[in-house]
Each structure stands twice: as structure tokens, then as C-alpha cells.
Structure 1
Amino acid sequence: MASASAAAQLAALVALIKQLFATSFIGFAIATTLTGITVLQTYLYYRNYPKDHWGLKSTVALLFVLDILCTIFVAHSLYTYFVLNFESSPTIDLIIPWSFSSEKFLVTLITFVAQLFYTRTIWKISGNAIITGSVCILAVIAFALGIATTVHLYQTPLATSISSRSFQILSGMVQGFAAFNDVLITVCLCTWLYQRKVGAGGWDAGHTFGTDKVIDTLILYAVSRGVLTAITQFLFLTLNLSLPHATYWMPFQQMVGKLYVNSVLATLNVRSTFSTVENKQATMVFADVPGMTSTGTGLDSGTGGESHTASAPSDKRSKPLVFATMSAGTVDFASSQSRGSGENSEKETRDNP
């Protein structure tokens, strides 16, 4: 009987170690792949948008540095567990490395910065103080609770503290608020884009550029971004609460911060994909085009040429989607107003070439 009991305990221990190795390896492999994508997107951003506002450039630099630090800290914690503590006392493996706690704080900070970025975007395109304030408050709550979980890990650096009931509730609230905020951000962006699509029409700048197709693409992108981060947070929350003594949550914890970083970078880099023939590039006004304000007051070509201006909307809550074509030092504008006005402008262009 004693030998059977010892064999059962050994089998359970081996299964636990295999689970820890598997989840750590899978999570780290996915996380480092996403870090590589972050490096590429950061390079493309600074190469393609050298004239962006210094605040945007600083945000990208901050997110890039935090992403790299997350990868370094995860690598350090795994090296500590699997190499430095090899053949050591089992009690040593119960101690959480400082790098693990630090990485958790960095993920919380990345989530906060990314959601503030989208909060600013919502404010620029809608001007709705209630919705913007709600998104900002949810981001602050999730950030504050994330700091509390990090302090708890520093004060009680034991693996058993992660599975404690109090920590599970606190950590679950962090992921819950973050996931809910992602859904709210996605709904706000899609609602605004759909409202703009209702009155969007084509315009002529040498070649017709249909705003309907662009807005459809932006809606699809906004949904994909929000669903991906929200599902990751939800799976992290579900596995962490339902299986507190397992490590199935680890891959999602390692990659959620990197998904936020890449979503922000993709939002900035997507501007270069809406191009027409003759290297004309369409740009969204809420993507911080240099020299253009959120009300679409105009953009200087930077070559001493004319600056064409689209009329600003009288209702601050409903700002138009403005596209600019930039080719050979000339700048043209078209505002996504009603289809009737778009047709009239096309007719005037044909009558007065």
C-alpha cells in the first residue's frame, strides 16, 4: 500500500512538472513571436511616419521598451525555475522570482497605456465626454487593481499565494475590467464608423476612392482587435479562476500585453494600407496626420503649395471622416458627408475640370 501511494504521488508530481514545462514553453514561444512582430511594426512606424506628433512617437517607444522588458523578465523567471533551481530543495521552487512579479506589473502598465490610447482616439472622433470618461475610468480601475496584485506578489512571493482565494478574486477583477473595457472601446469605434458610413460617398481626385470600402475595413479591423484582446483576457480569467492549481493560464498571461502593443502599432501603421493608384494615400483624421486637426481643418503639403481645407462640422459630437490624397506635393480633401453632397461634388468636378 505504501509503495502504491508513493507511486501515485510521484506520478502526480511528474504530471504537474510536465504541465508547467508545457504551458511555459508554449506561452514563451508565442510571446517571443509576438515580440518579433512588435519589432517589425515599430520599425515600419518610425520609417513611414517620421512627421507624427512627438506624443505618438513617445507612446510607441514606451510600448516597445515595455514589450522587450516583458520578454526579458519572462526569460529570467523561466531560467530561474528550470535551470538555477534544478535539483534544489522543493521549497525553493515555491518562491516566485522577482522577474515574474515585475513582468505582471509591466503587462498591467501596457494594458493601461494601450487603453488610454484608444480613449484619446474615442475622444477625438466623437467628443462624447460620458463615453470617453467611462472608458478612462475602467482603464484606471484595472490599472489600480493590477498594481494591488503586484504588491501582493512582492509581499507574499510564494507560488501558493497565486492560488489563494483573495488573490484569485483580485486578479479576476483586473482581467474582467480590462476585457469589459476592450468590448466597450470596440463598440464605440464601430458605432462611430458605422454612423459615418451611412452618409459616406465616393469622391473624385483623379480616380474615384470609395469611402464605404475603407470604413468597412476599419470596422472589421476594430472588431478583430477588440475581440482578440477581450477573448485573451477572458480565457486568462476563466482558466485562472476555474483551475487555480494548474498553469493553463500562463500562455495567455504572457501574450496579452504583446497583443495590446501590436494592436496600437497596427492602428498607427494601418494608415499606409489605404492607398489608391499613383501612390495616393488615404489617411484617417483620427490617426494624427501631421498638420491636420481633429475637425478636418486642413493639411499643409509642406512644399509651399496650396492648402485645401474641408469645412469643419458645426456639431462637435459628429466629426466627419476626412481623407487626404498626397501626391507630388498636392493635397486634396474629401469629407464623408451625405451621399447627395458627394454626388453633387462629383458632378461639379465633371462640369468644371
Structure 2
Amino acid sequence: MSTTRLPRLDAITGAPLIGTWASSLLYMAELRQAMYYFHTFKKDNWKLKSYVALAFAIDTISAVADYAFVYLYTITHAGDLVYQTKQNWAVPLYVISTTCVAFLVQSFLAFLYWRFTKNTIFICFLSVLILGALGGGFSAGLTVTLFPAYKDRNKTRICAAVMIVTQVSADLIIAGALFLELMKAKSLFKGERPVNNMLNRLVLHTIQTGTATAVIAVLALIIYLIDDETNIPVAIMYTSGRVYVLSMLVNLNTRDSSGRPQNWTTSSGQRGTVRVAHGTTYIFSTLQFSLTEPHSSNSESIRSSAWLPTLQPPASISEIRPPEIEMVPTDTKPVPEI
């Protein structure tokens, strides 16, 4: 059979094939992080574990759709000129599943930020962006289902642009908001090397979480707007779902098995409190870093948190300590995680 009439296979099947290679590497890292989480943090609340399992399961479906897309083009329907001019069922499945993964991870981070700041107005604005990305993704998937031909791909321009722009905006805003809060917390611990080391690591995770997915989405959007008949943007976005779930798992796994941030230990091996001269108590517990001023009212309390499914009230201060840092075990019980 003559292949002169075949479409550009490098762009249609070659780019997605390379994308599945990159996706496979990231999925192995994701699987390793998921196994570590479920093996190490067995005491985490079942709701949190179910949420993580759901995100991982949907991302697995997305990865399977990636492989199905390439296999159907290169093996099952190799040389089929009619089939090569259409997008198969794996494309809308991949788009919708990846959109759901992004929605779950962004909602997770937004909820944690709200539990920390109680800034309802900001979270409402963020929710609009997250829901906009979800709606854009479902619209793009439905459009591809109704109009699978590559010549009709321009019909998805608007919904695809809405999905990517709102998704990128949400990623960057969440990362920026968490970054600012962590920097505020860091300014309160000048000279406290162990705490600053922990906060530096959390700041790095925050930057990586927002910028990685944003760069992937923006690059895919630019290439798509230049040439909407190539599958290079699809190949680039193959890694998006893996990066989202990895960012959530890495944040959750940045603890030791007792739930404390890694590299933060006490001599007794228990949950630790740092108590300083002016009577401020800093509590480090399950995914939680919080501080309150004992002489402030509830409305004036200062809190800083890092990847925190729960908020834990600080231990009471009964006396003013000398100007030194002392590690003491807390006697408070953590609020059940959600």
C-alpha cells in the first residue's frame, strides 16, 4: 500500500509515543511515592487516604489512555488512512481524566490553604478558576468526541484555551499564596536553623508544585495555537497528570512515619514544641506547622501551616521562658484528620 497519502505520522503518532516514555518514567516515580504513602502513613484519616487513592486511580486511567492512543494508531490501525485522520476514543478519555486529576489536586491544596488562613473570599475566587478549568476540560473532551476529525480540531480552541489558562492561573496563584505564607513564617524564625531548613524545603516544594504544571500547560497551549493538527501538545500534556499527583504525594510524604516534617526530631521522639523567650509556642505535628501568640485574641492569632490536613491547637504557656529555645513534648491530642 502506498504511504504517500498518510498524514504526518511524526506529529500524529511519533510525538505521543515519546510522550508515553516520559509519562512512564513519571508514573513509576508516582507509584513509588504512592506505595510509600500508604505503607508509611497508615494512621492517616481514611478520608485523606481515599482522596489520594482516587486521584491516583484516575491518573492511572489517564496513563492507560495514553498507551491506548499510541497502540491503536501504530499497531491495530497501522496504515488505515481513514483512522489516521481521526482522533480515537482515547483522546477524550485522556483529556477528561487529566482534568479530573488537576481538579482533585488543586482542590486539595486550596482546601488546605483555606483551613490555614480562613480567607473565604480568596478561596471563592480560586474555586472559580478551578471549576473553570474543570468545565473547560470536559467541554474539550466532549467536543473531541463529537468532532473527532483532525480538520475539526479548531472547534476545541476556545474550551482548550479556557481549560489551560484557568488551570495555569490556579496553579500559580495557589503556589504564590502558599509561598507568601511560608515566607511570613520563615521571617518569624530568624536564627532558628532547623526550622528554617524545614521551611526552605517546603518553599522549594511549593515553587515546584506550581511552576512545573504551569510550564507544561503553557508550552502545550502555545504549540496548539500555532498548529492545531499536531499531537505534540497532547504528548506534552501526557506528563501533566503524573506531575499533579506527584506534587500531592511528595507534599504528603515530607514527613516521618509519626507525621512530623522530616528532619525535625526531639530527644524523646515525641511530637515537639519549640518554646521561645516571649512565650510564643510553635507546634510541629502531622503535616502541620502552626504558631499562635498567647497574648493575642483569637482574631489576632497568627498561624502558619505547611501541607496540613488538620489544625492543632497549641499547648498553653504557663510561664515565660528565658531567651533560649527548649524542646519539650506537647500534651495536646491532635484533632482527627479529615
Structure 1 residues 348 and 236, CA gap change in structure 2 (3 angstroms): closer
Aligned pairs for 1:8-19 (under 5 A) are: 10=4, 16-19=8-11
Residue from 216, 222, 238 that aligns with 1:238: 222
Q: Deviations over 1:299-318 (max 9, x none)?
A: xxxxxxxxxxx999723773
In the alignment, the residues of structure 2 paired with residue 317 and residue 127 of structure 1 have an alpha-carbon distance, to the nearest angstrom, of 12
Residue 286 of structure 2 corresponds to 289
Residue from 137, 159, 180 that aligns with 1:191: 180
Structure 1 or 2: more helix by fraction: 1
In the alignment, the residues of structure 2 paired with residue 267 and residue 47 of structure 1 have an alpha-carbon distance, to the nearest angstrom, of 16
In the alignment, the residues of structure 2 paired with residue 34 and residue 230 of structure 1 have an alpha-carbon distance, to the nearest angstrom, of 17
In the alignment, the residues of structure 1 paired with residue 272 and residue 254 of structure 2 have an alpha-carbon distance, to the nearest angstrom, of 9
1:157 paired to 2:148: yes
In the alignment, the residues of structure 2 paired with residue 312 and residue 266 of structure 1 have an alpha-carbon distance, to the nearest angstrom, of 34
Residue 66 of structure 2 corresponds to 74
| C-alpha contact (below 8 Å) 1:41/1:269 kept by paired residues | yes
Q: Deviations over 1:13-72 (max 9, x none)?
A: 57x213333312210001111111111111100111111112210111001111211121
| C-alpha contact (below 8 Å) 1:23/1:247 kept by paired residues | yes
Q: Deviations over 1:205-225 (max 9, x none)?
A: xxxx62122112211210121
TM-score normalised by L of structure 1 = 0.76
Unaligned runs of 5+ in 1: 1-6, 204-208, 298-309, 323-332, 336-340
Residue from 53, 67, 80 that aligns with 1:61: 53
Q: Secondary structure of the equivalent of 1:315?
A: helix
Aligned pairs for 1:254-269 (under 5 A) are: 254-269=238-253
Unaligned runs of 5+ in 2: 274-281, 307-313, 329-338
| C-alpha contact (below 8 Å) 1:201/1:342 kept by paired residues | no
RMSD: 3.5
In the alignment, the residues of structure 2 paired with residue 63 and residue 152 of structure 1 have an alpha-carbon distance, to the nearest angstrom, of 24
In the alignment, the residues of structure 1 paired with residue 160 and residue 6 of structure 2 have an alpha-carbon distance, to the nearest angstrom, of 26
Structure 1 stretches of at least 4 aligned residues deviating more than 4 Å after TM superposition: 276-288, 294-297, 310-313
In the alignment, the residues of structure 2 paired with residue 348 and residue 147 of structure 1 have an alpha-carbon distance, to the nearest angstrom, of 51
Following superposition, the deviation at residue 321 of structure 1 comes to 4.7
Structure 1 residues 154 and 126, CA gap change in structure 2 (3 angstroms): same
Q: Secondary structure of the equivalent of 2:303?
A: coil
Partner amino acid, structure 2, of 1:172? A
In the alignment, the residues of structure 2 paired with residue 311 and residue 227 of structure 1 have an alpha-carbon distance, to the nearest angstrom, of 39
Residue from 95, 116, 120 that aligns with 2:111: 120
Residues 273-282 or 18-27, more deviating? 273-282
Residue 346 of structure 1 corresponds to 325
TM-score normalised by L of structure 2 = 0.79
In the alignment, the residues of structure 1 paired with residue 284 and residue 55 of structure 2 have an alpha-carbon distance, to the nearest angstrom, of 17
Aligned pairs for 1:96-175 (under 5 A) are: 96-162=87-153, 164=154, 166-175=155-164
Partner amino acid, structure 1, of 2:286? V
Q: Deviations over 1:272-299 (max 9, x none)?
A: 3622466958899999829x8x9779xx
| C-alpha contact (below 8 Å) 1:275/1:282 kept by paired residues | no
Structure 1 residues 109 and 313, CA gap change in structure 2 (3 angstroms): farther
Following superposition, the deviation at residue 91 of structure 1 comes to 1.6
- Aligned residues, how many? 304
Residue identity (%) = 19
Aligned pairs for 1:293-308 (under 5 A) are: none
| C-alpha contact (below 8 Å) 1:27/1:254 kept by paired residues | yes
